[in-house]
Structure 1
Amino acid sequence: MLLLGSCITLMFPFLTQKLIDEGVNAKNLNLITILLLAQTTLYLGSIFIEIIRNWLVLYIGSKLSISIISDFLKKLLYLPFVFFDSRMIGDFSQRIQDNERIEQFLTSQSLLTFFSMFTFSVFFGVLWFYDFKILLVYLALTSISIVWSLYWLRKKKILDYFKFQEKSRNQESIYEMINGITEIKLNQFEDYKRQEWESIQQKLFAVNTRILKNDQIQTSGYELINQIKNIIVTFLAATFVVHGKMTLGELLSVSYIVGQMNAPVNQLIVFFRSLQDATLSLERLNEVQEHPVEDEKLSENKNIIHKENSSELAIQLSNVSFQYEGPMSPYVLEDINVSIPRGKITAIVGASGSGKTTLLKLLLKFYNPTKGEIHFEGKKIEEIPAINIRENCGVVMQDGFIFSDSIERNIATKDLVIDEQKLRVATKIANLENFIENLPLQYKTKIGSSGNGLSGGQKQRILIARSVYKNPHFIFFDEATSALDSENEKTIHDNLQEFFKGKTVIIIAHRLSTVKNADQIIVLRNGKVTEQGNHKELVEKNGEYFNLVKNQLELGN
């Protein structure tokens, strides 16, 4: 379509010359009429071609955009958990928006520039045909204008990095205000967060001011050189007409050609700007694309964790230590030696900050131990793909997430076809039946983003139902019933006892009622195991566990 449009454009200067020299000068009204009708027809044809081309560009651009973002998200979702620890949501959002610049470059600017250069080449030959001196002057001044523009584009590249950072912070700030509105209102944090956002806007304004200044210098200088070039070319052509070396029709044709050659040059400058923007955006997307995915060198094998394993030990931790930052940071866990028996319930207790949740995250392969080894049923955790561990685990984390979807989809998650029987068993164990039956659409009732409209206890029961629905080999609960009232907790606790049979269960909890019946209790303090045993044994020791129980029950000596 662009090629056809370019060919139509090429016909206009010759029609203009014929109109003046053979129509107006010869006073031939019939020829004038024919030529003007021809111009009108060609113009309408170019409009029709442009309309079709725009539709094609929209279709191709949309497909390309979906492909770019889909590939980005696919890679993003398979990156290790640690990748997300130090990055802001606004940063990811801004990277996704960067695809628009890549899409525009690939679907519009590259094609437009290619065919503009084709048009330029043809007009170049035509101008050479008219007069070589005019062409040399045009080329010299055009080269100066291009060099000028490229110089200022290099300066803009640095400013683009600053703008990206501030726009990421801007999106993060807004996201934080919307998602943290409850705490903001409770703690009268409104003015501070608003002022923080305004501060980001001031920095963004400062960056945009520098970009505008840079663009204005570039554009003004380019247009000035361009205008001087047009004046000089027109002066030369007019001189040739005065001296009889060129006809008036040829003068108008040259003016038209110069105007048409300016458009491809302008397009070339836009192309360089678009190329620079697309390159920067691609670099930002490639930071994610080039990051190694989880278990990149491990092949997926769903039979690595065997449910019918004869080993008595399901999980073994040997001299495990872990620190979140570099080698100079403190150890969150240190020299952990723990054996988790197969098919039994193990409770992990300890004060806040003792490393309980971190230990669970190591078992789920969110992080790798800094030192030591972890074995799942005799196999090193490094040899087992994370996806195999997690598909065999039913997990309820402290900060479990509720998706903006129906209740049944929140429970069944990845199952495309939901097993109705498993769904009802899961909701019964989680004591959700009465709550769901009283909803207008029952299981198909849509829950708001992050579970808005649900109480903390209802969210936890949905998370418990989600883990039960999987019917996994391992169960990991991290304060899974902390938001439940005593009546619901007792009902769910009783329901779970039957479900736990034959499964390896690890429970992190503070409540005595949750841990006292565990087959094994592990006590953590400051990242170290201080005691191990069952409830009765640890109480008789009169140590760390006894103090935790005493403080909870407010017992005397």
Structure 2
Amino acid sequence: MSTFKRFLQYYKPYKGIFFMDLFCALIMCIVDLSFPLILSYCTGKFFLKSSNEILKGVLFLGIGLLIMYVIRALCRYYVSCQGHVMGANMESDMRQDLFNQYQRLSFSYYDKHNTGVMMSRVVSDLFDICEFAHHGPENLFISLFKIFGSFIILATIYWPLALILLAVTVVMMVFSYSQNKKMRRTFMENRKKIGSVNASLQDSLGGIRVVQSFANEDIEIDKFNHSNMEFLESKKDNYRVMGTFQGGNNFFQGLLYVTIIVFGGLFIANGDLNPIVLATFALYINVFVSPIEVLVEFTEMFQKGFSGFRRFEEVMNEIPEIQDSKNAKDLKNVSGNIDFDHVSFQYNENEKVIDDVNLHIKAGEKIALVGPSGSGKTTLCSLLSRFYDVTNGSICIDGQNIKDVTLKSLRSNIGLVQQDVYLFTGTIEQNIAYGRPNASHEEIVKAAKKANIHDFIMSLPEGYDTFCGERGTRLSGGQKQRISIARVFLKNPKILILDEATSALDNESERIIQKSLEDLSKDRTCITIAHRLSTIRNADEIVVIDATGMHERGTHDELMKLNGTYAKYYKLQFEGLN
């Protein structure tokens, strides 16, 4: 019921269209139910009158029927057009809500879920909801109205035969219910399998350069073929159940006609029923059977739409692990003092990453984190931005616990430059403006100049309007990195995190970008994660982190004199010593 209630909420903005749709459906039902009665009256009474009376009345009868079917056509137009628009609007609202939810979910959710599967929920799972949202209530309303309306009329014509038809219909409903449960399972399985297909597709296309560089196209084809065939088998199972469902219901519909002929013949033989009455009865059987067929189609539509909505609901029910506290306040007038107080973090019970870290960073200070991969350097910085929450301890900025401030204000005051730069599909200007979307063109150019990328941009035929390509594929690593630095210049945060910002670049690009980073870090609290130790020699303090926690700390000269882990790393890189 909770799922049903949530689904109904999406009708609220369009309840005017919805009720008008049902009203038009009601008019169509009344017209359909009226015609057999009109025909019965004509054949039983009106056409038995004199020729003059028939000629006088048939014109008015024709005009009345014409008006009736014009009204029906207009109602059909409204149902087909505005009803579908309503369904499309509801689908769009759900898709927007789902995307908004994805934006709210924490990093931990993305650590556990495949991007292709998430895309499937946004695109494929909601596809059938449009049809169901529109046709579902309408078909159910029309079918039930016609079934009950025609049954009442059938009962008034000859109730013993109507009761026999009802008995056959009840058996048909029991059969439909049993098949419905099987269809629900197969449709849900379909949704999961198409999610796997999308995941395989996204994974292969996203890494197409790696695939082709290793000449592993055949491996990717086999992987996609596996998920594709699993989806095919799921569809086959679904169609087998659907075939049984539709074939069985078709049989019961035919059984209704058999019932009329057999039992109608018996009642006529006994003198209890007039053949003309049976003919009228047969006319209404069409009206009675037709909505049953619609109900069968509705059941299939319901299962498709419902299974898609259930998967939609699974995501919407996810509670973001990281969210604003009830009394969270904006972080304002930031100086940049940072305190890590007995901070520990673990992804799960058996995967401790950081253990009891204590670190005080003064405003404007330059701190470097050094250590082997997997020692928790990046995780420590992720905790500062609240991409994850600490397991124990606390992190404060200017004395305020970051859990007590709003996420938006916290992250607005932290700039992040990473090794793996992500550029969005769009122009260079749009990508730089991502640092501050309301920035003027002049401010964007100023940021680009500070990042030493302006001259390169102006050398391009389209300048700042140059299209970057998907993920910035038309630009080199150094160019992408400088655009990301311009982005942070534009954002102008008080706290800066440099996460392996130059480790993937050649020496020339590194020198250019290192100069940009030095300019960027001025008057900001800066945390640098680096494997290239040449980039952090001038740091105010270097902290060595390993699996046991903070191992060493001091300036470059102090740590070299200590001749410990840092000195070992440095000598390995620059002196070739063991």
TM-score, normalised on structure 1?
0.91
Shift of 1:227: 0.9
**Counterpart mapping for 1:144-163 below 5 A:** 144-163=171-190
1:290: how far off? 2.0
Q: 2:146 aligns with which of 96, 119, 128?
A: 119
1:509-535 per-residue CA deviation (whole Å, 9 max, x = no partner) reads: 222331111111111223522211111
201-210 or 465-474, larger mean C-alpha shift: 201-210
CA distance in 1, matches of 2:376, 2:245: 57
- 1:416 is displaced (CA, Å) by 4.2
Deviation at 1:413, TM superposition (A): 1.4
Corresponding position: 1:333 with 2:359: no
User: Where does residue 493 of structure 1 map in the other structure?
Assistant: 514
Alpha-carbon distance in structure 2 between the residues aligned to 1:216 and 1:545:
70
Letter in 2 for 1:280: S
What are the within-5 Å matches in structure 2 for residues 261-410 of structure 1?
Answer: 261-293=288-320, 294-302=322-330, 304-308=331-335, 314-324=337-347, 326-329=348-351, 331-410=352-431
SS of 1:231's equivalent in the other structure is: helix
Contact in 1 for aligned 2:191/2:308 (Cα 8 Å): no
Deviation at 1:238, TM superposition (A): 4.6
Query: 1-side partners of 2:192 and 2:309: how far apart?
Result: 16
Question: CA RMSD, aligned part only?
Answer: 2.5
The counterpart of 1:110, out of the listed 137, 142, 147, is 137
Match 2:117 to one of 91, 107, 116: 91
Q: C-alpha deviations, 1:416-460, integer Å up to 9, x for none?
A: 432233312221122111221122321122222211212222221
In the alignment, the residues of structure 2 paired with residue 416 and residue 531 of structure 1 have an alpha-carbon distance, to the nearest angstrom, of 41
* Most deviating of 24-33 and 268-277: 24-33
Q: Which residue of 1 aligns with 2:21?
A: none
Q: 1:208 aligns with which of 235, 242, 247?
A: 235
Tell me which residue corresponds to 1:51: 77
Q: 2:490 matched to 1:463?
A: no
Distance, in Å, in 2 between the alignment partners of 1:255 and 1:492 is: 85
Q: How many Å apart are 1:32 and its aligned residue?
A: 7.4
Q: How does 1:446-485 map to 2 (within 5 A)?
A: 446-485=467-506
Displacement of 1:108: 1.3
CA distance in 2, matches of 1:285, 1:137: 43
Q: Note the C-alpha offset of 1:370.
A: 2.4
Please, which moves more after superposition, 523-532 or 237-246?
A: 237-246
User: Which residue matches 1:534?
Assistant: 555
Equivalent-residue separation in structure 2 for 1:521 and 1:61 (angstroms): 59
CA contact (8 A) 1:17 1:249 kept: no
Q: Give how far 1:86 is off.
A: 0.4
Aligned partner (choices 92, 101, 115) of residue 75 of structure 1 = 101
Q: CA deviation at 1:300?
A: 4.8
Q: Deviations over 1:323-380 (max 9, x none)?
A: 22x2123x22223222222111111122322222122111111112223322222222
Deviation at 1:245, TM superposition (A): 5.3
The amino acid that maps onto 1:341 is: K
Cα distance, 1:174 vs. partner?
0.7
Q: After superposition, what is the alpha-carbon deviation per residue over 1:17-38, rounded to whole angstroms, capped at 9, x for unaligned?
A: 2454457777968477876786
Task: Report the equivalent of 1:183.
Answer: 210
Of residues 377-386 and 445-454 in structure 1, the stretch that sits farther from structure 2 once superposed is 377-386
Q: Which amino acid aligns with 2:323?
A: D
Deviation at 1:298, TM superposition (A): 3.5
Which of residues 228, 248, 252 is equivalent to 1:221? 248
Distance 1:527 1:184 in 2: 38
Q: What is the CA-CA distance between 1:43 and the residue it aligns to?
A: 4.7
Shift of 1:52: 2.9
CA contact (8 A) 1:397 1:477 kept: yes
CA distance in 2, matches of 1:46, 1:252: 26
- Which one of the candidate residues 25, 29, 42 is aligned to 1:2? 25
1:198 aligns with 2:225: yes
**Residue aligned with 1:131, SS:** helix
How many angstroms apart in 2 are the aligned matches of 1:60 and 1:162? 28
Structure 2: which 5+ residue stretches go unaligned? 1-23
TM-score by length of 2: 0.88
**1:62 paired to 2:73:** no
Q: Percent of counterpart pairs with the same letter?
A: 28
Question: 1:89, CA displacement in angstroms?
Answer: 1.5
Superposed displacement of residue 41, structure 1:
6.2
With over 3 angstroms needed to count, the CA separation of the structure-2 counterparts of 1:320 and 1:296, relative to structure 1, is closer
Aligned-residue offset at 1:556: 4.7
| Among 148, 159, 178, the residue aligned to 1:132 | 159
* Worse overlay, 397-406 or 184-193: 397-406
Q: SS of the counterpart of 1:454?
A: coil
SS of 2:357's equivalent? strand
User: 2:453·2:482 contact (CA, 8 Å) conserved in 1?
Assistant: yes
Q: 2:526 aligns with which of 486, 505, 523?
A: 505
Q: Which residue of 2 aligns with 1:515?
A: 536
My pick for the range that moved more, 136-145 or 435-444, is: 435-444
| SS of residue in 1 equivalent to 2:204 | helix
**SS, match of residue 368 in structure 2:** strand
SS at 1:332 equivalent: strand
